Homo-oligomer: A and B are copies of this chain.
Amino acid sequence: MASDSAARTPQLRKDSVTKRWVIFSPARAKRPSDFKSKSPINPNSDQQQQCPFCIGHEHECAPEIFRLPADNPDWTIRVIQNLYPALSRDMDVVSAQDPLHQNSDSGPGRVVISGFGFHDVVIETPVHSVQLSDLSARQIGEILVTYTTRIRQLMIHDVIRYVQVFKNHGASAGASMSHSHSQIMALPIVPTAVAARLDSMKEYFDQTGNCSVCEFKSSKDLLVDVSAHFVSIVPFAATFPFEIWVIPLDHSPHFHELDADKAVDLGGLLKLMLRKMALQLNNPPFNFMVQTSPLRDSASQLSHSHWFLQIVPQLSVAAGFEIGTGCYINPVFPEDAAKVLREVKVS
């Protein structure tokens, strides 16, 4: 700890998209350019013999939903059921249809709904040693299109209100499997944080006439990179050090409306961000999350909403203060993180 940046004084910033306060504390940081992961991923240290996600081990997996190319033993991507699903696709749908059903047997204040939903795994490559950032922009684009295809299938179920696409990479980012994969969870509720994000964006829109995500497109100090259809930035009140948002230049509420061309463009920018993070931050564990809109909101409810991809390298631990308050301490100012990431040379 202790550094040059200690000369800067701490600030609290409120995110205009999530409405959450974040404390920026340069005194708790090394210099932004010295930040490195202490638990980097070493893709070669890992046993692959036992991996059910590898090509040839399909029979060790829970049932397949679809693969690319279809019916081809030489697949490039598989979407399968999660063997230990958090939600159950087998439950009686009816029991989930009254989402605010008050379970009166169980006592006052007990709001319960049955856990109907879908929990899928996307195997991103047949090869154990290949990481997402090793794939080409086109291949990453195909994975992104796979997410959208699966979301469109899940939308058929009336009770599904929100679909969360996310990736865990590396043990300290929560990954229990090292073979490159991501997950798709379809929920019978709109999670509270998603509802709060939508409310916050609506409030901003009503006050200013602008979209709070679109505003970032003109934030030169927060800019990392730009492609034909996307821009990557560090948000002004980033929760985590070196957090990145990849934002579509078009104002659009739903990730699943991404088309194939834009998916390849996004694939290229995502690859660039992952490579920059790996080079700059010592191959850190990371998560990414698609931040999209609920499925069944009306066009007018959604007019203020704008989806984006949130990428979070895991460099610190959320502890008592963060659990207690929901407020995070970020030692790196977003302008500094953006500058560092902007300047990383990727060969």
Contacts and interface: CB of A to CB of B under 8 A. Distances in A.
Given A212-B109, A317-B172, A84 B1 contact: yes
A102 B18 CA distance: 17
Contacts of A326: 191-194, 196
Contacts of A114: 9-12
B208 A108 contact: yes
Contact of A27 (B11, B85, B162): B85
Contacts of A166: 319-321, 323-324
Contacts of A321: 86, 164, 166, 183, 185
A61 interface: no
Contacts of A20: 192
B319 A87 contact: no
Interface stretch (A122-130, A246-254, A284-292): A284-292
B108 A215 contact: yes
| Interface residue tally on A, bucketed by range | 35 or more
A25 interface: yes
A178 interface: no
A338 interface: no
A149 interface: no
Number of copies of this protein chain within its complex:
2
A189 B11 CA distance: 12
A168 interface: yes
A108 B16 CA distance: 9
Interface in A43-72: none
Nearest to A312: B323
Given A86-B25, A210-B108, A318 B318 contact: yes
Give the one of A85, A112, A117 with max B CB within 10 A: A112
Interface of A (DSSP majority class): mixed
A287 to B, nearest CB: 4
A175 B317 CA distance: 9
Contacts of A31: none
Contacts of A318: 174, 318
Interface in A90-146: 91, 106-115, 117
Contacts of A310: 323-324
Contacts of A327: 187, 189, 191-193
A13 B324 contact: no
A19 interface: yes
A101 to B, nearest CB: 11
A25 B324 contact: no
11 contacts: A10-B87, A12-B115, A14-B111, A23-B87, A108-B215, A109-B204, A109-B210, A109-B215, A110-B236, A173-B317, A187-B325
